[in-house]
Homo-oligomer: A and B are copies of this chain.
Amino acid sequence: MTRPRQVILEAAFSDQGDHFTAEELFEKAKKIDTNASLATLYRTVSLLVQGGLLHEIDLGKGVTSYDPNFIESPHHNHLICVDCSEVIEFEDQHISVLEDCITKRLGFSPASKSIQIKAKCDKLRQTGACAKLN
Q: A79-B106, A106-B90, A108-B81 are in contact. Are A99 and B120 (CB under 8 A)?
A: no
User: In the assembly, what is the distance between CA of A103 and CA of B90, in Å?
Assistant: 10
Interface string of A63-103 (1 = CB under 8 A from B): 00000000000000001011000001010101100110011
Main DSSP-derived SS at the A contact region = strand
In the complex, A52 has a CB within 8 A of chain B: no
Within 8 Å CB of A95, what residues of B? 95, 98-99, 102
* A58-B58, A95-B95 known; A123 vs B107 contact (CB < 8 Å): yes
Q: Which residues of A contact B (CB under 8 A)?
A: 58, 79, 81-82, 88, 90, 92, 94-95, 98-99, 102-103, 106-123, 125
Known: A92-B98, A111-B118. 16 other contacts (CB 8 A): A58-B58, A79-B103, A79-B106, A82-B111, A90-B102, A94-B98, A95-B95, A99-B117, A102-B117, A103-B117, A106-B119, A107-B123, A108-B122, A112-B117, A114-B115, A114-B116
